[in-house]
């Protein structure tokens, strides 16, 4: 039988939003006004917005219909029970604590278990996770396998935790100082790379040996499960839901942003089996988010997430999702643009350090490339490198492990012709990489500086 090569989006478009066409001159002026920080732009000045895949996806007909069923009762709403059932169907943790987004779950968890002297190992902390750990005075340690730090090295599970490094960390830092071991699936800051079931089992083994809880940062759990389905021995014939449940069964809890694989525009949760921990977290939830049956969300949001969780594990969706991301990465790779390989699940990462060897890491090659893509083509990506991670809590600055520009793909939002345009623009800018100049920071806040810092070209 013939295998068609074209990626057919597994949906038809049901309502549309206008895209805004602008000129290079206009974009140059807006960049200057924005202090060369793409977070400061007005979104309507962006043609293809690849800043994030978080909360930016298109919801389905059935999610919009579910929203009409939203019940806004303060306590015990039926929408809460639908949300709870949908979460526990995939992640059967005893306690599910709804939050308005992922970082709220992180804030609550680390407020309870963090603190000075504590050390949290993770394959790679996402920026908000790191910031929430560090805000309590604890230390965030990244222990991804060495392959995960080499952009052009192909490995099926580049998000895996370095098991020997994890044990070393526990032994040298003291088991009593480690409140939790975290694994981020997929490993966003390391290139959207998956973690294998085998690696999760090994992490579980280490946690059992030292009596430590294992938590997942599950933002992109379905994409991770699809990679396991495609790449891990013995998993190809299994249902995605069963793979997700296997992942869940290895953990003691999770934090989640439903803005990613929850297929919703807002939402998240914190889940765990530990009753005592859950009690403390719920008390904080009531203080900061809301009552435990809505936690900072409207009933309608809980409905959208519950429905989204049934759609995200659909194999025809996941096949399209992962293939269309790879389509962008493969085309750029074929055109000679350095990209993180293999393609991640939710994003393509351009290796700005390799593309711009004439710009030193402390002159932010990622920021230079990201601003050039906007200026030339109206495409908004995001620096993931020295701007995001280069500043230490003590104020000193060091180059990040990699200087990347992330082109994150919102779920079910752009068509293949949008992506073909992105390929054209990135290739054009890459061909003129030698003309790009580094940047310096003229103004920055004390933490999470990438959101608000202002830059000037050197």
Could you list the residues that contact ligand F0G (CB under 6 A)?
52, 54, 101-103, 126, 128-129, 184, 188, 217, 219, 257, 259, 268, 408
Q: In whole angstroms, what is the distance from residue 259 CA to residue 367 CA?
A: 25
Least separation in angstroms between CB 196 and ligand F0G? 17
For residues 402 and 433, which CB has a smaller minimum distance to ligand F0G in the complex? 402
Least separation in angstroms between CB 124 and ligand F0G? 9
Least separation in angstroms between CB 266 and ligand F0G? 8
Least separation in angstroms between CB 188 and ligand F0G? 4
Least separation in angstroms between CB 217 and ligand F0G? 5
For residues 256 and 436, which CB has a smaller minimum distance to ligand F0G in the complex? 256
13 token code pair: 């478009």
For residues 126 and 317, which CB has a smaller minimum distance to ligand F0G in the complex? 126
Q: Do the Cβ atoms of 220 and 255 come closer than 8 Å?
A: no
Secondary structure of residue 215 in the 3-state scheme: strand
Least separation in angstroms between CB 96 and ligand F0G? 16
Q: Do the Cβ atoms of 345 and 312 come closer than 8 Å?
A: no
398 token code pair: 């060091």
Query: Cα dihedral sign for 158, 159, 165, 167?
Result: negative
Angle, helix 221-231 to helix 315-334, in steps of 10 degrees: 80
Least separation in angstroms between CB 370 and ligand F0G? 13
Q: In whole angstroms, what is the distance from residue 312 CA to residue 259 CA?
A: 12
What secondary structure letter does DSSP report for 204?
A: H
Q: Report which of 160, 255, 238 is spatially closest to residue 201, judged by C-alpha positions.
A: 160
For residues 103 and 300, which CB has a smaller minimum distance to ligand F0G in the complex? 103
For residues 217 and 351, which CB has a smaller minimum distance to ligand F0G in the complex? 217
For residues 93 and 438, which CB has a smaller minimum distance to ligand F0G in the complex? 93
For residues 217 and 223, which CB has a smaller minimum distance to ligand F0G in the complex? 217
φ and ψ at 334, to 5 degrees?
Answer: -65, -30
Name every residue whose Cβ is closer than 8 Å to that of residue 431 and which is 6 or more positions away in sequence.
Answer: none
For residues 215 and 327, which CB has a smaller minimum distance to ligand F0G in the complex? 215
Across the chain, which distance is largest between two alpha carbons, in Å? 62
For residues 259 and 412, which CB has a smaller minimum distance to ligand F0G in the complex? 259
| Beta-bridge partner residues of 172 | none
Strands 253-257, 268-272: pairing kind: antiparallel
Q: What DSSP string runs through 86-131?
A: HHHHHS--SEEEEESSHHHHHHHHHHHH--TT-EEEESS--HHHHH
For residues 37 and 54, which CB has a smaller minimum distance to ligand F0G in the complex? 54
Q: In whole angstroms, what is the distance from residue 261 CA to residue 308 CA?
A: 8
Least separation in angstroms between CB 50 and ligand F0G? 10
Least separation in angstroms between CB 185 and ligand F0G? 8
Q: Which residue is nearest to ligand F0G (CB)?
A: 102
φ and ψ at 246, to 5 degrees?
Answer: -65, -40
Beta-carbon neighbour count of residue 64 at 10 Å? 15
Least separation in angstroms between CB 360 and ligand F0G? 26
Strands 181-184, 214-217: pairing kind: parallel
For residues 124 and 363, which CB has a smaller minimum distance to ligand F0G in the complex? 124
Q: In whole angstroms, what is the distance from residue 279 CA to residue 448 CA?
A: 30
Terminal Cα distance for the chain, rounded: 57
Least separation in angstroms between CB 202 and ligand F0G? 21
137 token code pair: 């005075």
């Amino acid at each position: 039988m013939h295998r068609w090569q074209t990626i057919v989006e597994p949906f038809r478009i049901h309502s549309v939003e206008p895209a805004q066409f602008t000129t290079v001159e206009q974009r140059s002026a807006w960049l200057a006004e924005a202090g060369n920080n793409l977070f400061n732009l007005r979104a309507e000045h962006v043609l293809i917005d690849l800043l994030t895949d978080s909360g930016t996806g298109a919801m389905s007909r059935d999610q919009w219909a579910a929203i009409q069923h939203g019940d806004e009762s303060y306590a015990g709403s039926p929408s809460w029970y639908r949300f709870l059932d949908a979460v526990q169907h995939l992640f059967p943790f005893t306690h599910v604590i709804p939050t308005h987004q992922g970082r709220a779950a992180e804030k609550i968890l680390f407020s309870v278990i963090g603190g000075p002297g504590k050390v949290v190992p993770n394959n790679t902390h996402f920026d908000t996770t790191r910031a929430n750990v560090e805000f309590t005075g604890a230390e965030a340690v990244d222990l991804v396998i060495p392959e995960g730090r080499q952009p052009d090295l192909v490995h099926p599970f580049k998000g895996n935790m370095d098991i020997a490094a994890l044990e070393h960390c526990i032994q040298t830092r003291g088991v009593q100082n480690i409140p939790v071991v975290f694994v981020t699936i997929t490993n966003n800051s390391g290139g959207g790379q998956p973690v294998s079931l085998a690696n999760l089992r090994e992490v579980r083994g280490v946690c059992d040996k030292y009596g430590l809880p294992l938590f997942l940062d599950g933002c992109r759990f379905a994409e991770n499960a699809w990679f396991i389905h495609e790449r891990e021995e013995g998993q190809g014939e299994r249902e995605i839901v069963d793979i997700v449940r296997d992942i869940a069964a290895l953990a003691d809890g999770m934090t989640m942003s439903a803005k990613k694989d929850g297929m919703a525009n807002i939402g998240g949760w914190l889940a765990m089996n530990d009753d005592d921990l859950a009690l403390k977290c719920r008390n904080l939830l009531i203080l900061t988010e809301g009552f435990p049956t809505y936690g900072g969300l409207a009933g309608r949001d809980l409905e959208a997430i519950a429905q989204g969780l049934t759609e995200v594990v659909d194999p025809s969706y996941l096949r399209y999702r992962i293939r269309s991301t790879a389509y962008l990465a493969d085309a750029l790779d074929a055109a000679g643009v350095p990209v993180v390989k293999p393609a991640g699940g939710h994003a393509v990462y351009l290796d700005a350090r390799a593309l711009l060897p004439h710009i030193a890491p402390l002159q932010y090659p990622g920021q230079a490339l990201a601003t050039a893509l906007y200026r030339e083509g109206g495409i908004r990506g995001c620096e993931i490198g020295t701007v995001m991670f280069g500043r230490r809590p003590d104020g000193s600055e060091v180059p990040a492990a990699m200087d990347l520009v992330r082109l994150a793909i919102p779920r079910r939002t752009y068509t293949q012709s949008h992506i073909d345009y992105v390929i054209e623009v990135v290739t054009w800018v890459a061909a003129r990489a030698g003309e790009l100049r580094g940047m310096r920071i003229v103004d920055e806040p004390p933490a999470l500086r990438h959101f608000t810092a202002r830059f000037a070209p050197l």
